[in-house]
Structure 1
Amino acid sequence: MASTADEAPAVQNEKVDAIKPFPADVPAVHNTENDATGKVFSIDDMDLPKGYFRTVHFWGSMFAIGMSLMCGVAGFSFIAPLLSIVNNDIGPSDDINWVALTYTLTGAVGLMIVGRLTDIFGRRWFFIVGSALALLGSIVCAVAPNIPAMIAGETLIGLGSSAQLSFVFAVGELVPMRYRVLANSYCYLWLILPNGFGPVIGYAFEYESNAGWRGSFYLLTAMNAVCTGAWYLFYHPPTFAMKHGSGAVMAYIRDFDYVGTLMATLGLLLFLMGLSWGGGMYEWKSAHVIATVVVGFLLLVAFFVWEIYVPLKEPLLPVHLLKNRDWLVCILMWSIGASVYYAFAVIWPDMVSALYADQHDIMWSGWAAGVVGSGITAGEILAGFAKKRIHWVIRVVFFSGAALLACMATCTPDTPTRAIVLLLLGTTFIGANECLTSTCASICITDQREIGTALGIGGSSRSFVSTLCGTVYTVVLANRLATTIPSQVPAALIAAGLPASETEAFITAYGSGGATAASANGVVPGLNETILAVGVHAYKVASSDAYRTVFYSTIAFSGIGILLSFFVPDVDKMLTGEVAITLRPKENAEDVVPRSKLEEDAHV
């Protein structure tokens, strides 16, 4: 727990002979309850050197963190709207879905591992290597001659994003506790480009330039190059030697929880892969889906049993975190908030295409598809102005966002403006919840040296819950479309004069290629312009009824979030001037704490 201002002098007078953190005249306290965390580097902002927050290393690190977040999100948002175009260009391949799947899976699994490893071994080189991997992946995708090469490139980008998306703890530990919400809000400013304009950028490269879809990766390559350089030049947090002593590295490597890491990695990969396959690449009842989901689930159960009951020196998941109710509630609120808007991130682009796209040009569809990302980003930025009673702010924004998104069920094919306004406002509120709950999760942990572990687990939990809920939404939509279209469209077509024997041909053609495919010569012989207009409208109404069911289904998840919001902790008293770590361009001898010294202190 962060020390309050009146407690600070007592803490500083304890163990005055301890090895000193930066600056050298401020004593530190060693806490060896969990040896993996190593030396304490926290300091009150009043004790920092004058002008510390104006140094090139501080602002260079802030630039690297923001740029890294932008690159991590852009690694997929730039190309996501163009996957079908990519497949037509360098395919076709039935494996095109793996371009998206590999990015999602590697990022979800990597967040937890990166958080824990960087807590133990230091963050600097993990972040440098992560950006370098994303840079390499961008180059591979930019020159990819086929879909397997694209998959390989997105795998590298996804691995890199595990470090690039770890911004919450990277920025949180650099600033005083009372400014963490504002610091996170600053980071979200960097998402304006990939979240708000990602689809537009993708469409612009494809339709308004000679570079085509590869232009997105040319831009991403340049961004990742700048990001990698910024990490290397400016970011110098405490190293492993500063944390534990340079001679202890082999001991920490030996004691690391490899079994738990393997079970968690395979469990998450298989479970999320099975959910992503179901209803798309394979039928839900197929052996591919059932086997991966079941085996993945059993491995995750085994992982928790292993972490709880096996005595581990350096577990991947410290059990005491699970006993911290405040942290757990914040993580669940963070995850459920993401799952509520995930429905719209997945469903909305399809809804735009099915209900509204033929009324506007292609660039309008690109702008409309970016509404979800724009709203989320706007909320994340605006949340930075919350300074007090944050727990009440979370309750208000979550309820407001959930209510507005549920109101999307009132939208029809004739109300695109209403849909965009409701969606923009709803996702803005949910975005605020995202910023506030993730920040609160970083504040209410009892040991700030575990901030990477705590928020890495939170990031993986967010991906897990979002994928699980996203699967529910897509299954609900598919089942409803299979009911509403056959029950509504044929009747409307027959009433308009189309022979009953030709209604199935119309539904098949329109579903695969829209009005252009349905009206092609010979596809539906009895079709004329009047019948076509009736059929298109009926198909849109039937689709709208299916989407309405999805929006109703979000109420189940948002209801859980509303109940949990009443248990969100009041962190106002923890918003102190404590800074978890300071940047150290040079490693001084007095910064090194041998592992033996830590072990001796544990027995004092």
Structure 2
Amino acid sequence: METKQTKRPLVLVALVLSMFMAAVEGTIVATAMPNIVADLGGFSLYSWVFSSFLLMQAVTTMIYGKLADLFGRKPIFIIGVIIFLTGSILCGFATNMGLLIIFRLIQGLGAGAIQPIVTTIVGDMYTVKERAKVQGYLASVWGVSSVIGPLLGGVMVQYINWAWIFWMNIPLGILGLIGVIFYFHESVDTEKKTIDYLGSSLFFIAISCLIIVFVQAGTNWAWLSVETLTFSFIFIIGMIYFLWHESKISTPMMPLYLWRNKLIVIANIATFLSGVIILGLSSFLPTYVQGVMGESAIVAGFTLSTLSIGWPISATLAGHLVLRIGFRATAFAGGFALFLGTFLFFLLDADKGPIYAGISSFIVGIGMGLSSTTFIVAIQNAVSWHERGVATSLNMFMRIIGSAVGTAFLGGLLNIQLDHFYEQKGTDIAVQSTDVLLDEGMRQTIPTEVLATMKDGLTYALHTVNTGLFLIGTLTFILLWFFPKVTIKKQD
């Protein structure tokens, strides 16, 4: 629905800069956190610096997608970037951990708009044949940011100040705003719009409770604690009421009929499962390489960075494959790569070494790139302009939730298996003492026999995690056998 005045190359550059700004924020903070904690204190709140950003991004992504369908992409994108930049500026000025978490919430509130609206604008500006290639380039931004983020964060912390990991967003955001404000033009219906305030509120409350459970349960709360059960109950009741409400009104926040589309259902479930895989690897592969193989943090980083190399290469390739062999075959190829990569992790042991782990990680990255790009383009091809924003956001929301579930489920599985191993061995080693294995200096101070037991325990527990990843990879591959054949719309 774009008009002739839109200057696509300039808008695309602005969108890529904006996407990079939001994507790099997820990885750049990790490197700086030790310095931030040293400066602000509040180590007990450490995880909430990450979780607050994820929480707000997750609960607002769908809402922004619907607002973009109602009022146009441009105003919602502008609002999202301004909120994100406001949060970024405030984060740099935070004087304690509590304030930093609040400002990260503001950042996440803006980030919830950026990724889905950028992807939707690309869907609007380009025909489906062009879109397949451009969405592939856009997906590459995430792979590049995950490699550059930690390096950039390390340089800024060492040579400037940790505040600049937030303030570097300002020039990127301003350039993104200029490109979209002056060079992107769209036609939007002028008739009065109805916003589903109740549906949006119910969704916000229910998903907030779900994310809080994923973040807190198993670490700060027991799984059967009053807090966990209370938040879980609110989530269940909130979602039931939300779904009932959405089925009754004429302008729902999330049109339930989207879930009757076979392509959208399979793409979204597969996206959820791949979100579990990606966070499972990101969280536990470095632990395996350092704790079990005894390698350095740099080597552990290498094994994970290969995933970030495979993803953008295959995402770009997916754009060409979709046009040559179709959506179904490309998605199936992505599912096979996820199956193969997770199978290789299932076979992983200490003797295979970090290069084997790096190759396995690269294959998973290929699967992610092929499938994620294909899903987005196929979904955008399957819906009209008025549904494109919410359909795109729904797919991205499923990945965020998959990531949250992956962290909680696989982390809980790891701790249970470690406890079980130590009980069987009759040792009094605490699960928390595994941290020592990840410190090269501290490893030397552990008695040989205890060190061997700890390594065996970690190997046993992480093999269970890798088995879980393989089962999820297999399920994703089986699911994509049912991905429907799709014809590319001529009029797009």
State whether TM-score is above 0.5: yes
Aligned counterpart in structure 1 of residue 275 of structure 2, from 324, 327, 338: 338
Q: Aligned runs of 1:290-329 on 2, under 5 Å?
A: 290-308=229-247, 310=248, 312-329=249-266
Q: 1:225 to 1:482 in 2, by over 3 A?
A: farther
Matched, 1:203 2:154: yes
CA contact (8 A) 1:413 1:540 kept: no
- How many percent of aligned residue pairs carry the same amino acid? 17
- Match of residue 359 from structure 2: 421
Q: 1:508 to 1:564 in 2, by over 3 A?
A: closer
Q: Aligned runs of 1:175-194 on 2, under 5 Å?
A: 175-194=126-145
CA contact (8 A) 2:144 2:308 kept: no
User: In terms of mean alpha carbon deviation, does 96-105 or 329-338 score higher?
Assistant: 329-338
Q: CA deviation at 1:470?
A: 3.1
Aligned counterpart in structure 1 of residue 96 of structure 2, from 146, 163, 172: 146
CA contact (8 A) 1:200 1:366 kept: no
Q: 1:364 to 1:504 in 2, by over 3 A?
A: closer
Distance 1:301 1:394 in 2: 32
Secondary structure at the counterpart of residue 45 of structure 2: coil
Q: 1:211 to 1:260 in 2, by over 3 A?
A: same
CA contact (8 A) 2:52 2:104 kept: yes
Secondary structure at the counterpart of residue 144 of structure 1: coil
CA contact (8 A) 2:340 2:363 kept: no
Secondary structure at the counterpart of residue 464 of structure 1: helix
**Per-residue CA shift, 1:499-544, capped at 9, x if unaligned?**
xxxx749984864874644666xxxxxx6xxx44x54344233212
Aligned counterpart in structure 2 of residue 442 of structure 1, from 360, 380, 388: 380
Distance 2:435 2:96 in 1: 29
**Per-residue CA shift, 1:413-463, capped at 9, x if unaligned?**
341111111111222222211111122111122x33210111222222232
- Match of residue 338 from structure 2: 401
Distance 2:373 2:354 in 1: 28
Q: Aligned runs of 1:371-390 on 2, under 5 Å?
A: 371-386=306-321, 387=323, 388-390=325-327
Q: 1:516 to 1:443 in 2, by over 3 A?
A: same
- Match of residue 44 from structure 2: 94
CA contact (8 A) 2:21 2:173 kept: yes
Return the letter of the residue paired with 1:299.
G
Matched, 1:72 2:18: no
- Match of residue 596 from structure 1: none
Q: CA deviation at 1:488?
A: 5.7
Distance 1:507 1:218 in 2: 35
User: In terms of mean alpha carbon deviation, does 110-119 or 507-516 score higher?
Assistant: 507-516
CA contact (8 A) 1:331 1:441 kept: no
- Match of residue 547 from structure 1: 462
Distance 2:120 2:65 in 1: 8
Matched, 1:236 2:185: yes
CA contact (8 A) 2:289 2:295 kept: no
Matched, 1:83 2:21: no
- Match of residue 35 from structure 1: none
Q: 1:211 to 1:454 in 2, by over 3 A?
A: same
User: In terms of mean alpha carbon deviation, does 458-467 or 545-554 score higher?
Assistant: 458-467
Q: 1:537 to 1:376 in 2, by over 3 A?
A: farther
User: In terms of mean alpha carbon deviation, does 289-298 or 186-195 score higher?
Assistant: 186-195
Distance 1:539 1:509 in 2: 7
CA contact (8 A) 2:56 2:105 kept: yes
Tell which structure's C-alpha radius of gyration is larger. Answer: 1
Q: 1:545 to 1:81 in 2, by over 3 A?
A: farther
Matched, 1:574 2:488: yes
Aligned counterpart in structure 2 of residue 120 of structure 1, from 58, 63, 70: 70
Q: Aligned runs of 1:196-275 on 2, under 5 Å?
A: 196-206=147-157, 209-238=158-187, 242-245=188-191, 248=192, 252=193, 255-275=194-214
Aligned counterpart in structure 2 of residue 280 of structure 1, from 219, 226, 242: 219
CA contact (8 A) 1:412 1:541 kept: no
**Per-residue CA shift, 1:538-589, capped at 9, x if unaligned?**
4233212211111111233233322321221222x2242x34xxxxxxxxxx
Distance 1:211 1:177 in 2: 44
Return the letter of the residue paired with 1:182.
K
- Match of residue 476 from structure 2: 561
Q: CA deviation at 1:114?
A: 0.6
Q: 1:567 to 1:314 in 2, by over 3 A?
A: same
Secondary structure at the counterpart of residue 454 of structure 2: helix
- Match of residue 584 from structure 1: none
Distance 1:265 1:507 in 2: 34
Distance 2:434 2:280 in 1: 27
- In the superposition, the TM-score normalised over structure 1's length comes to 0.75
Q: 1:159 to 1:411 in 2, by over 3 A?
A: same
Q: 1:70 to 1:505 in 2, by over 3 A?
A: closer
Distance 1:429 1:98 in 2: 30
CA contact (8 A) 1:331 1:438 kept: no
Q: 1:184 to 1:117 in 2, by over 3 A?
A: same
CA contact (8 A) 1:409 1:547 kept: no
CA contact (8 A) 1:411 1:544 kept: no
Q: CA deviation at 1:398?
A: 0.6
Q: 1:192 to 1:489 in 2, by over 3 A?
A: farther
- Match of residue 295 from structure 2: 359
CA contact (8 A) 1:116 1:316 kept: yes
CA contact (8 A) 1:195 1:377 kept: no
CA contact (8 A) 1:271 1:294 kept: no
Q: CA deviation at 1:379?
A: 2.8
Deviating 4+ runs (over 6 angstroms): none
Q: 1:420 to 1:58 in 2, by over 3 A?
A: same
CA contact (8 A) 2:290 2:437 kept: no
Aligned counterpart in structure 1 of residue 83 of structure 2, from 133, 142, 151: 133
- Match of residue 171 from structure 1: 122
Q: 1:365 to 1:344 in 2, by over 3 A?
A: closer
Return the letter of the residue paired with 1:91.
G
**Per-residue CA shift, 1:204-245, capped at 9, x if unaligned?**
333xx322433422323332232233222222222xxx4124
Distance 1:115 1:505 in 2: 45
User: Highest relative contact order (Cα 8 Å, sep 6+), 1 or 2?
Assistant: 1
Q: CA deviation at 1:75?
A: 1.7
CA contact (8 A) 2:307 2:363 kept: no
CA contact (8 A) 1:488 1:542 kept: no
Q: Tell me how many residue pairs correspond in the alignment.
A: 488
Secondary structure at the counterpart of residue 222 of structure 2: coil
Q: CA deviation at 1:82?
A: 3.6
Q: 1:151 to 1:575 in 2, by over 3 A?
A: same
Q: 1:374 to 1:133 in 2, by over 3 A?
A: farther
Q: 1:376 to 1:338 in 2, by over 3 A?
A: farther
